[in-house]
Amino acid sequence: MKVIDDGIIKYDRSNFTQCPPLDISEYSDLEFWRKELFKLNLIGEYPNDHVGFGNVSEFIDFHQFHQSLQPQFLITGTQTGKYPELDGRYYTRVLDYDIEELKIKVMGPIEASSEALTHAAIYSGNLNIKAIFHIHSAAIWNGMIQDKADHTCATIPYGTVEMAHATQKCIKSKDAGSFCMRGHEDGVVAYGRSLDEAGKLILELYKKYVS
C-alpha cells in the first residue's frame, strides 16, 4: 500500500502572520502555470486520502513587508492541490527562513505549502533561479529514475533539513533543470530563470514520459 506523506507541515509554524487575500496582480502570472499543471493532473489531490499534492512558487522581492538577506518568494498555500483554480485566499508570501532550524516566516491569508522549505533551499542555493514547480507524477518520477536523472536520495523525506541540503546539491550551479525526489514518491521538481522556463521543463517531462 502506498503511504501518503504529503501535506504534513514539518517546519516551525509559529511565525505566520495572517492577512487579507492577496491582490490578483501579485499572483496572476504564477496562477497561469498552476492551472496548466492542474489540467495535466500534475497538481491535485489523492482521492482516497484527501491529501493535496504539488505546489508552485515565484521569486518576488517582499522587502516592503520584511527586510531579509534570504530570497523571498510567493508560494501556493498548504492543502490547495484539490482546487482547479486559486485566488488570493490561497497564495502566501515567504518573507524569511532559517533552513537549519526549520523556521519560516510567512505572511498571507493561508500558511505556506508543506514543502516551502524545499523551495527556500533552492532559491537560496542559486539566486538566478526565479521559479520552482513541484509536481507529482508516477510516470515522470519512474521515468526519471530509470534514466538516472538528477535526484535526491531515497532515504531523505520531504520537508527536512536533509532534503533542503539534497536539493541544493541537485541544482549545483545550474540556473534551470529538474530532478526527482526518490524519498518522496512521485515528487518531481523543475526550476528556472522564469516561470515560462520552469513550466516548459515540466511540459517536456510530461511529453517524454506521459503523453
Q: What is the pLDDT of residues 81-114, one digit of tens each?
A: 999 999 999 999 999 999 999 999 999 999 999 8
Asked if residue 49 is part of any domain, the answer here is: yes
pLDDT the model gives residue 160: 84
Asked if residue 76 is part of any domain, the answer here is: yes
Asked if residue 2 is part of any domain, the answer here is: no
Distances from the Cα of 75 to the Cαs of 21, 22, 97, 116, 173, in angstroms?
Answer: 13, 12, 14, 7, 23
Q: Which domain holds residue 29?
A: 16-209
Distances from the Cα of 25 to the Cαs of 93, 120, 137, in angstroms?
Answer: 14, 22, 30
- CATH number of the CATH domain containing 52: 3.40.225.10
Query: In angstroms, rounded to a whole number, what is the distance separating the alpha carbons of residues 66 and 94?
Result: 10
Q: What is the mean pLDDT of residues 123-143?
A: 97
**Based on the structure, what is the number of domains in the chain?**
1
9-25 pLDDT, tens per residue? 778 878 999 999 999 99
Q: Three-state DSSP class for 198? A: helix
- Cut 0.75: pTM above it: yes
Q: What is the mean pLDDT of residues 133-149?
A: 97
Distances from the Cα of 205 to the Cαs of 118, 121, 171, 189, in angstroms?
Answer: 20, 23, 17, 11
Q: What is the mean pLDDT of residues 110-135?
A: 95
Query: In angstroms, rounded to a whole number, what is the distance separating the alpha carbons of residues 14 and 2?
Result: 31
Asked if residue 7 is part of any domain, the answer here is: no
Q: What is the mean pLDDT of residues 191-211?
A: 97
Q: Three-state DSSP class for 53? A: strand
Average pLDDT over the chain, rounded to an integer: 93
